[in-house]
Homo-oligomer: A and B are copies of this chain.
Amino acid sequence: MVTINKNYLKLPGSYLFSTIAKKVADYQAAHPEEKIVRLGIGDVTQPLAPAIIDALHKAVDEMAHAETFHGYAPDLGYEFLRSAIAKNDYQDRGCRIEADEIFVSDGAKSDSGNIQEIFGTDNKVAVCDPVYPVYVDTNVMAGRTGEYNKERENFDGVIYMPCLEENGFLPELPKETPDLIYLCFPNNPSGAAITKEKLQEWVDYANKTGAVIIYDAAYEAYITEEGVPHSIYECEGARTCAIELRSFSKNAGFTGVRLGFAVVPKELEREGVSLHSLWARRHGTKFNGAPYIVQRAGEAVYSPEGKAQLKEQVAYYMRNAHYIYNGLKDAGYSVSGGVNAPYIWLKTPKGMTSWEFFDYLLETAHVVGTPGSGFGAHGEGYFRLTAFGTFENTQEAIRRIQAL
């Protein structure tokens, strides 16, 4: 008789965004006349940039002819894309990362879910609280945590690092020493950014303790301030303690195109084993590469036209971010984020819980956001709005919230 993976049963309820989608669908079904504005899930709304579209069409045409058809991709991704990434995202910023340290994937969600597989199940995981749910849930599924603690509303055996107003929404070095540390900056959900000096403290800490940092830099394109690092490899010593995850979803609108990558430096080893070789083995055994046409679209992100067009696209969303930030501030809300990130993090008014405010906003303003408590116990009393809507919808949402 087969047994199931009982770690899955520790997970309470369903994945956050599935729950939200269901709630919104139910509300819309009951009120078909209401025009709902969605600033909840971090999905983009602007179409793909012309340079990307051109690259896709061209690659599709290649697939139509035997001479230029592409079958299975190389394990780690096509050289043309890995070189473009290494040059533009790293070497041009002074980070020593080579093309063969880049592992092209179908997106940062997959990578941030799968990366834990190369580590032992006995490792202690540290996460920010609030946090992107995938980091915790995938470690629960792997058996790296205890049971769900209903009172504390989180998992036994995980080190939660509260990120609250009083610490500028930045984690502090934990009392108990973790083995695997997940950091995401600019942060999802809070929109907080970390300075290079602060991040250097984490790199030094990891190198001292032998921990490994999983650094999720999916939102680096939204950084506007000096002194905020775009990559953890801007910090000295990061090559011996950090894996970086990147996405094309937010900087190029690839949420429906699916492309991302992980950087695993060759010096990074633990217990005498190269993590680069472990991840290469995982990639080679369980994955067959991102589609050729999608990798060509990724290449176009780094072309002169692509860069110019995507700079405008990011600016479009950041205009929304400023609009939300200022509009909520004017309406008396306590807000943060939105300066180096497409997320605005606000305190729920009148002592409402996050889900109470979610329902209140859905029912009175017909605006969808994400309840802070969905990201962790210390997200309770907070709420996330994203800047990924259209400018018109964003204006409309803020107008409605201001009128409440």
Q: How far is the CA of A9 from the CA of B274 in the complex (A)?
A: 11
Interface presence of A37 (CB below 8 A): no
Knowing A43-B72, A56-B293, A273-B9, say if A113 contacts B63 (CB, 8 Å).
no
- A 225-241 to B, binary, CB cutoff 8 A, 1 in contact else 0: 00000000000000000
Instruction: Assess whether B53 is in contact with A63, with CB atoms less than 8 Å apart.
Output: yes
Q: Could you pull out 14 A-B pairs where Cβ atoms are within 8 angstroms?
A: A3-B120, A5-B117, A15-B281, A43-B72, A45-B69, A47-B69, A53-B64, A56-B60, A57-B60, A72-B255, A106-B287, A113-B286, A114-B286, A256-B292
Instruction: Assess whether A4 is in contact with B120, with CB atoms less than 8 Å apart.
Output: yes
Q: How far is the CA of A53 from the CA of B293 in the complex (A)?
A: 12
Residues of A within 8 A of B (CB-CB), count: 83
Residues of B within 8 A of A43 (CB): 71-72
Instruction: Assess whether B64 is in contact with A47, with CB atoms less than 8 Å apart.
Output: yes
Contact partner of A41 among B18, B72, B275, CB < 8 A?
B72
Interface presence of A2 (CB below 8 A): yes
Instruction: Assess whether B256 is in contact with A179, with CB atoms less than 8 Å apart.
Output: no
Knowing A47-B63, A56-B63, say if A5 contacts B141 (CB, 8 Å).
no
Interface presence of A123 (CB below 8 A): yes
Interface centre among A57, A270, A284, A291 (most CB of B within 10 A): A291
From residue 228 to 286 of chain A, which have CB atoms closer than 8 A to chain B? 253, 255-258, 270-271, 273, 275, 278, 281-282, 284-286
Contact partner of A258 among B3, B134, B288, CB < 8 A?
B288
Instruction: Assess whether A48 is in contact with B71, with CB atoms less than 8 Å apart.
Output: no
Q: How far is the CA of A1 from the CA of B133 in the complex (A)?
A: 24
Interface presence of A118 (CB below 8 A): yes
Residues of B within 8 A of A211 (CB): 1-2
Residues of B within 8 A of A289 (CB): 256, 258
Interface presence of A80 (CB below 8 A): no
Residues of B within 8 A of A291 (CB): 256-258, 291, 294
From residue 185 to 242 of chain A, which have CB atoms closer than 8 A to chain B? 209-212
Interface presence of A65 (CB below 8 A): yes
CB distance from A302 to the nearest CB of B (A): 19
Instruction: Assess whether B60 is in contact with A4, with CB atoms less than 8 Å apart.
Output: no
Interface presence of A360 (CB below 8 A): no
Q: How far is the CA of A4 from the CA of B212 in the complex (A)?
A: 11
